[in-house]
Amino acid sequence: MNRIGITGHRTIPARARSHVLAGLRSALSGLDGATEALSSLAVGADQLFADLALARGAKLTAVIPSGDYEACFDTAADLARYRLLKSRAAQEIRLDFPHSTDEAYYAAGAYIADHCDLLLAVWDGHPARGLGGTGDIVDYARTLGRPVTVIWRDGVERC
């Protein structure tokens, strides 16, 4: 079984969005039902990846960082999309953190890096803005020797 994980920014500027979608589609091309897609289902890169992986027949594993994770979604639409994707997951891994903290986010990203064969990173290449950010997870995956494919449009800065 191929296991592909995602780490990425929650905010993808409009100028990068079509490039990111094309990169994710390309990375996921040729998938079959034997592929496992690991995602925390956060807004942004995680949800884009989960949607595309499910559309290509992958089995989704939702890695939930904390017991109160749903409280982190800013809008009703974002929460509804998270719940829909989670309901479509073949498996749910719920980490043992009661609250959504930077440590919980780092642990979820590390879990994904630990359990994938390839990590896709929707990443602008800059250091993480807080523990558990995309840059931290890319660094962690690379220390494991995990292949990392970075998807981002050159010249576009994240907000």
CA dihedral (54, 58, 63, 67) in degrees, to 10, reads 50
pLDDT (mean) for 137-148: 98
pLDDT score at 1? 57
* Portion of the chain with pLDDT greater than 90, in percent: 91
| Burial readout 90-103 (b: 16 or more C-beta within 10 A, e: otherwise) | eeebebebeebbee
Mean pLDDT of the chain: 95
* CB 119 within 8 Å of CB 89: no
pLDDT score at 40? 98
pTM over 0.85: yes
Per-residue pLDDT band at 158 (split at 50, 70, 90):
confident
